Structure 1
């Protein structure tokens, strides 16, 4: 993973990166739509530090024994909505260890205190009560976390912002970032042209697309955009 590609994540939104995945031929892995930041404007990006919660907060402290500053702790609590699995003590400890943030497939508690800490936490929401159960520890407790339908490991990078949460394979990050930067530049040109009075439809020759589709019903808009992009027209 190129250092410049990783640093570019600070300047790319998750929508830019999701489109970068599409252009680079990488499957898009988004966290479910309900996975949101505690406060507007929160953002974090870093290597995944996976943790599977089994009912006790000691798993987080054990994970920190091996964590590297700049990572993002990704917590798998199975999407449970009957218990909160982290609170202010855990968040303060993770922050003090230098991790960039937390993404939780579950709920948090101590909502007001967490907001005061002002540390990036993404979760499914809040609930007053913590776990009232303790399950056995799986062998891969610190190796893999599930977030919705996606399994993530230390071989992944996570980027989370107000749009949502996106997981990227670290070994494809260079290609994704390059494609995302290209997409962002194209979008910026289009928006600037729109502000100058040139509609998006005229920029992408929408009338030509409709005419072509009338002749060829199988012709779709994505193909049209690819063709005019290939000709350097957008």
Structure 2
């Protein structure tokens, strides 16, 4: 999956979701990679954290090679829920990356380990609580407003993280490739001196909008083959 994602980006995948009418599920703003430049793509392995590492160890028993551990820590800013030992164990289990709705710690050690980890950032203290475990602890993970399951594929890069249903991922990625080709050609033409306004017949759009105020630029782009907004 990572190889297929290699020449794409999360913005392209997000645009493709809109294009093919797949619900757009993006991790909250601020989720980023511990090591700049890391990219991830793989099936979600969801887990909910309650204050103890045991739930991670249990989840690792269900790992498929290349899975992305998606950790629901409620977006908490008062504790780090993973550190170097959990990440080392994840790597030993075949996990390809970790995405945390929360914080991490042991940053120098995580950099040395090198396994992609995405989170809100670093924080020294670990959890001091132990909450009651839910029945869904190993089947779904909340991530912001979204519910992630093993039926989802996780994509992440320097722009953020998003989740795509596995049943739609082939169509979404094919569309993302098409959008990429269109945008790269548009960029080439701008560098060659042909402005985006000219490429998109922007004066014609303004004239049609004046005649019909309901006429949108997205409608115009679809008609002219542009791809800059979706």
Scaled by the length of structure 2, the TM-score of the pair is 0.95
**Cα deviations across residues 80-134 of structure 1 (Å, max 9, x unaligned)?**
0111000011111111222110000011011121112222100011111000011
How well do the aligned residues superpose, as a CA RMSD in angstroms?
1.3
Q: Conserved in 2, the CA contact under 8 Å of 1:76 and 1:147?
A: yes
Shift of 1:8: 1.7
Q: TM-score, normalised by structure 1?
A: 0.94
Whole-angstrom distance in 2 between the partners of 1:48 and 1:11: 21
Structure 2 counterparts to residues 10-89 of structure 1, below 5 A: 10-89=6-85
> Structure 1 residue 22: deviation in Å?
1.0
CA shift for structure 1 position 13: 0.7
Structure 1 portions without partners, runs of 5+: none
Partner of 1:114: 110
Matched, 1:178 2:174: yes
The answer to whether the 8 Å contact 2:61/2:93 transfers is no
Aligned length: 226
1:190 to 180, 186, 191: 186
- Report the Cα offset of residue 61 of structure 1: 1.0
Give per-residue Cα distances to partners, 1:176-233, cap 9 Å, x unaligned.
Answer: 0111111001001101111111111110111111111111111110111011129xxx
Q: 1:123 aligns with which of 106, 119, 125?
A: 119
Which position in structure 2 is the counterpart of 1:93?
89
Q: List structure 1 segments (4+ residues) > 3 angstroms apart after TM superposition.
A: none
> 2: distance between equivalents of 1:196 and 1:93?
51
| Structure 2 residue ranges without an equivalent (≥5) | none
User: How many Å separate the matches in 2 of 1:160 and 1:126?
Assistant: 18
SS at match of 1:11: coil
